């Protein structure tokens, strides 16, 4: 089988939720991956969205495109207010936060506000929404995004959502004593952070990806171990279920201006 980079990204993200009890998911690929994980890897996973739905059920082909629409409330276990939803996170009830962003830097800080200066930006982005709260309050946060040089920058133009700030213990010193950014899942690799310096490091490569592919698409030096495992490619079951969730391909599309690329699901190639 062949698959798109966006499909590879969604599958790799879903695999991170094995054994997880609850996930606070943003719309788009994070929510798509959470639903896929629930159907394959984590059947008891409770999905939470910012609009106030806890334990929602997603109908294939009707994935919510906003955190505040009624498709996100279908057969939910609870429908609290937005304030109460974030209070659950503040009290430590939510295991994992799933986030995306326009930029990320070597210390896991995310930008979804502006490209360029804040007062006179080149691009004005949607902003924080609940992303700052999620990254500050959930037990751990997994970032899901396409791996491009323009996204992986040495320093984000604006810190919308704080990762490890300047590295080291700066996150704790700023008052963020709970939670952490644990992993970044991309279409090229899975990355994490060094324990002391909090610099980004490569954990594993996706099928058909080389270390050079990763470094060429990153705007700063990564920590790279001498040997790296290669992740298993998406299975037929994962791809079939994933595509059934988004048949109109609202989320399963290749980002950027380049053509859609197919990657062979064949370890022998």
Q: What pTM did the predictor assign?
A: 0.88
Residue 269 belongs to some domain of the structure: no
The beta-carbon contacts of 56-61 under 8 Å, at least 24 apart in sequence, are 58/31, 58/245, 60/244, 60/245, 60/247, 61/244, 61/245, 61/246, 61/247, 61/248
- Rounded to 5°, the CA angle 186-190-196 comes to 125
Average pLDDT, the chain: 89
pLDDT at 61: 81
Query: Could you tell me if 175 and 61 are in contact, meaning their C-beta atoms sit under 8 angstroms apart?
Result: no
Specify which of 29-33, 105-109, 119-123, 135-139 reaches the highest per-range mean pLDDT: 105-109
pLDDT at 56: 87
Give dist(CA 163, CA 149) in Å, integer: 19
Give dist(CA 145, CA 15) in Å, integer: 15
Using pLDDT thresholds of 50, 70 and 90, give the confidence band for residue 209.
very high
Using pLDDT thresholds of 50, 70 and 90, give the confidence band for residue 24.
very high
Residue 234 belongs to some domain of the structure: yes
Question: Mean pLDDT over residues 149-174, rounded?
Answer: 96
Q: How many domains are contained in the chain?
A: 1
Q: For the chain, how big is the Rg over CA atoms in Å?
A: 18
Strand pairing of 121-124 and 114-116? antiparallel
Question: Mean pLDDT over residues 173-182, rounded?
Answer: 89
For 112, phi then psi, to 5°, come to: -135, 30
Residue 45 has pLDDT above 80, yes or no: yes
Give dist(CA 265, CA 2) in Å, integer: 5
- The reply to whether 50 belongs to the active site is yes
Q: What percent of the chain has pLDDT over 70?
A: 94
Predicted confidence (pLDDT) per residue in 137-151, tens digit? 898 999 999 999 999
pLDDT at 253: 76
Question: Mean pLDDT over residues 64-81, rounded?
Answer: 83
162: containing domain: 2-264
Q: Which of 7, 50, 238, 248 is catalytic?
A: 50
Query: Could you tell me if 111 and 157 are in contact, meaning their C-beta atoms sit under 8 angstroms apart?
Result: yes
Predicted confidence (pLDDT) per residue in 212-231, tens digit? 999 999 999 999 999 999 99
Strand pairing of 53-54 and 46-49? antiparallel
Question: Mean pLDDT over residues 193-216, rounded?
Answer: 97
Give me the count of residues in the chain.
269
pLDDT at 28: 85
pLDDT at 254: 53
Q: How many CB atoms lie within 10 A of CB 43?
A: 8
Question: Mean pLDDT over residues 29-34, rounded?
Answer: 92
Residue 253 belongs to some domain of the structure: yes
Least confident of 11-20, 53-62, 149-158, 260-269: 260-269
Residue 115 belongs to some domain of the structure: yes
Give dist(CA 213, CA 158) in Å, integer: 26
CATH of the domain at 172: 3.40.1080.10
pLDDT at 256: 39
Q: How many CB atoms lie within 10 A of CB 183?
A: 18
Residue 87 belongs to some domain of the structure: yes
Q: Is 232 exposed, middle or buried (0-12, 13-18, 19+ CB in 10 A)?
A: middle
Predicted confidence (pLDDT) per residue in 86-120, tens digit? 999 989 899 999 998 899 999 999 999 999 999 99
Pairwise pLDDT comparison (119 vs 261), residue with the higher score: 119
């Amino acid at each position: 089988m062949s698959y798109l980079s966006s499909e590879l990204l969604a599958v790799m993200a879903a695999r991170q939720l094995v054994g997880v009890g609850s996930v606070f998911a943003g719309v788009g690929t994070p929510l798509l991956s959470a639903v896929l994980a629930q159907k394959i890897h984590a059947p008891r996973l409770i999905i939470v969205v910012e609009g106030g739905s806890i334990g929602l059920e997603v109908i294939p082909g009707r994935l919510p495109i906003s955190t505040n629409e009624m498709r996100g409330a279908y057969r939910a276990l609870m429908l609290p207010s937005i304030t109460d939803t974030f209070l659950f996170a503040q009290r430590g009830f939510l295991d994992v936060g799933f986030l995306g962003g326009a930029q990320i830097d070597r210390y896991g800080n995310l930008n979804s506000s502006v490209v360029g200066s804040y007062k006179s930006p080149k691009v004005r982005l949607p902003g924080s929404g609940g992303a700052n709260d999620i990254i500050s309050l959930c037990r751990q946060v997994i970032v899901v995004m396409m791996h491009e040089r323009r996204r992986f920058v040495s320093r984000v133009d604006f810190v919308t959502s704080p990762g490890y700030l300047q590295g080291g213990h700066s996150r704790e010193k700023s008052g963020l004593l709970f939670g952490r950014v644990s992993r970044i899942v991309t279409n090229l690799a899975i990355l994490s952070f060094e324990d002391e310096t909090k610099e980004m490091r490569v954990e594993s490569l996706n099928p058909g990806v080389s270390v050079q592919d990763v470094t060429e698409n990153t705007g700063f030096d990564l920590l790279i171990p001498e040997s790296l495992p290669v992740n298993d490619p998406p299975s037929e079951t994962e791809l079939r279920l994933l595509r059934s969730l988004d048949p109109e391909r609202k989320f399963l599309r290749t980002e950027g201006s380049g053509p859609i690329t197919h990657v062979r699901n064949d370890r022998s190639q």
